[in-house]
Every structure is written in structure tokens, then in C-alpha cells.
Structure 1
Amino acid sequence: MELKEENIINIHHFLPHREPMLMADYILELTPEKVMTSFEITSDNIFVHNNEFLEAGLIEHSAQTCSSILGQSFFQNPEVETKVIGFITNIKKIEIFALPKVGDRIISKASLISKYENICNIFCETFLDEQMLIRTEISLFIQELKS
């Protein structure tokens, strides 16, 4: 998939994560029920070992992709600094098929299964070109931190 500047959404408007824990570069598509992200694996990533992006990195990337759906409600106004806390509450299903390498760009597609207030259940698949790397169903919780 070719990344076109006019189609890219700034990930920082939808996730609280920052380096070194940011595991998504761009949001390519975003609706209240679906998201598609991309991420280029670099050699300095904390989840890279022996030139491969480890399983923990794939899981974190999937979780961050999924949290973009829920994060929309907290980061709607980029002018306002919003602080949130979020975490994985459950991984219902996870299948890892392959690990990407340094220099690879992975694409993840996630769909909302259910949502109740700040808790959601989301299905996510991550690909390297046409090869599926991971498939998971994750439950997430996100809450705004009040000052």
C-alpha cells in the first residue's frame, strides 16, 4: 500500500503514546468502528531483537491500533492537551504467524466488536504485504486523567 500524504492522519491526535513506546506511525483510515494503521520497523525499536520485531511488539502495535478507535473521543481537539491512561484488560484470542524484520512496513486493520463506555472489544489483523502476521481480539480500557 502506498502512503499518500493527503490520506495520513496524525497518530498523536488519537494516542497518548510517545517514543519509545509508540508502535504506530500513521493512521491511514479512521471511523468510529474501524481503523487502519501503518508502522515501519526500525533497528532502534525496543522490541527488535536479532533484526526481528518480537511478538510483544506485534501485540503492542495491535493494541495501539485498536486503541485509536476508542481514543477518538479523548483526542478530538488537538489544541487541548488531554492526558489519558489506558491498558489491555483482556486478550481473548491471539495467533502469531510470522515476525516482520527491520525495514518492513506493517499494516493493521482493526474493527470494533463491542463498546461499553470506556471499555471496548476489538478484532485486529496485521499484515506484511499480503502475509498475515498476527490476528487478535483485544479488550481495552481508556480513561481521561483529571488534573
Structure 2
Amino acid sequence: MAENLLKEPILDPEEIIKLIPQKPPFVMVDSLYEYTDLTGLTGFTIPEDHMMVDNGVFSEPGLIEHMAQSMSLHRGYQGRISGLDKPKTGFIGAIKSVEIIALPKAGTKLRTYVEILHEIMKVTLVSARTENEKGETLATSEMKTVTVD
């Protein structure tokens, strides 16, 4: 297993926003716990008033976007340590698979593990697994993300 290259977790939401191209209110990550060249562990505490919360529950599109933003956060930190001033923009090119096992309630602390499986030029195949604070898997996905300059 590769060594975590973060000296300490990044838990300041203002610092996280500097690492991703998304801006409020469309931000769905608020912490970076671990980073290696190919993996990352992110977090997000779901606010009650978030645009993707309906009747106190975080939506399916919210979970999928959270997983994509977890990859974006990994990329943003990678860019920072390689000297970039601002994060590169990207988008979901294709979703190969997604399984939503349970929808979390507002207030839940999500933890998402991302792993780069394959990369060709600006297209990255990534897997993600999102858990709640009890370690129960809520969703998994495999998607292709595309980075634009």
C-alpha cells in the first residue's frame, strides 16, 4: 500500500474550495483525509440545507456528484503539490457503473475512497466507494472523468 502523502488531513472547507473547480452552493466535499498518487480518502458532512437534500435525505445525483468531486479533490491536491495555482476543470465523461445501496440523511458524515484504475491522456477511469460514519457502504461507482485545461 502506498504511503499517505498528506502530513495532516485538510479539514478547512475554505482550503478544500481552493483545490476544486466547483464553487458553493455546488460543493460536495469538505475534507481530504488521505492522498497517494493513485488513491484518496475524502469526506463530506451533508448540510441540512444543501441543494441536493430533499425531505432530509441526500439524493442519488448528490451521491454521484460527491464521488466525482472526491476525484476532483484528489486531482486538485495533486495539482497543488506539482505547483499549479488553480485546479483544472473536469467532468464526468461516462458512468460505467453505479450502485446506490442507501441514501444518507442530512447530517451524515460521508467518507469516500477513490482509486485511479487507468489513465490515458486526459481520461481517467476511477472507482469510488462511499461509506457513512459507521463504515456501511452507501454507494459504489466506476466512472471516466475527463480533465480540461
TM-score scaled by length of structure 2: 0.84
Question: Match of 2:67, SS?
Answer: helix
1:107 paired with 2:111, answer: yes
Divergent runs of 4+, >2 A = 9-14, 67-78, 82-85
**How far, CA to CA, are the matches of 1:109 and 1:73 in structure 2?**
16
Task: Please list, as runs of the form range in 1=range in 2, the aligned pairs for 1:65-144 lying within 5 A after superposition.
Answer: 65-76=70-81, 77=83, 80=85, 82=86, 84-128=88-132, 129-144=134-149
> Would the aligned equivalents of 2:18 and 2:87 in 1 still touch at CA under 8 Å?
no
Root mean square deviation, CA, Å: 1.8
| Structure 2 CA distance for aligned equivalents of residues 86 and 106 of structure 1 | 22
Matches within 5 A, 1:45-64: 45-64=50-69
Residue 41 of structure 2 aligns to which amino acid in structure 1? Answer: M
- Percent of aligned pairs with the same amino acid: 29
Counterpart secondary structure, 1:102: coil
Shift of 1:14: 2.8
Q: Deviations over 1:114-143 (max 9, x none)?
A: 011221000100001221110000110112
Distance 1:83 1:40 in 2: 22
Of the structure 1 ranges 134-143 and 12-21, higher mean CA displacement relative to structure 2 is found in 12-21
For 1:59, what is the secondary structure of its paired residue?
helix
Which position in structure 2 is the counterpart of 1:37?
42
- Unaligned segments of structure 2, at least 5 residues: 1-6
Look up the match of 2:9: 8
Using the size of structure 1 for normalisation, the TM-score is 0.85
The offset of 1:83, in angstroms, is 5.8
Q: Does 2:32 match 1:27?
A: yes
What are the Cα deviations for residues 94-115 of structure 1, in whole angstroms up to 9, with x where unaligned?
0000011111101000111001
Paired position in structure 2 for 1:3: none
* SS of equivalent to 1:18: coil
